[in-house]
Amino acid sequence: MGFEYDDQNIFAKILRGEIPNDTVFENDHALAFRDITPQAPSHVLVIPKGPYVSLDHFTQEASEGELAGFLRAVGEVCRLEGVSEDGFRAISNAGVHGVQEVPHLHVHIIGGRPLGRMLARET
Ligand code: AMP
Rg, Å, the chain Cα set: 14
Q: Shortest CA distance to 30 belongs to which of 16, 9, 15, 8? A: 15
Ligand 1 mean position, distance from CA 86 (Å):
24
Look at residue 123 and tell me whether its pLDDT is greater than 90: no
Q: List beta partners, residue 32.
A: 25, 46
Cα 97 from Cα 87, distance rounded (Å): 26
Ligand 1 mean position, distance from CA 61 (Å):
24
Q: Is 57 a catalytic residue?
A: no
Q: What is the pTM (predicted TM-score) of this model?
A: 0.97
pLDDT tens profile 17-76:
999 999 999 999 999 999 999 999 999 999 999 999 999 999 999 999 999 999 999 999
Question: Would you tell me how many other CB atoms lie within 10 Å of the CB of residue 63?
Answer: 10
Backbone angles phi, psi at 53, to 5 degrees: -80, -40
Q: Which of 43, 46, 54, 102 to mutate to test the pocket of ligand 1 (most atoms within 8 A of CB)?
A: 102
Residues with CB under 6 Å of ligand 1 are 10, 19, 21, 35-37, 45, 93, 99-102
Angle 116-54-84 from CA coordinates, rounded to 5°? 40
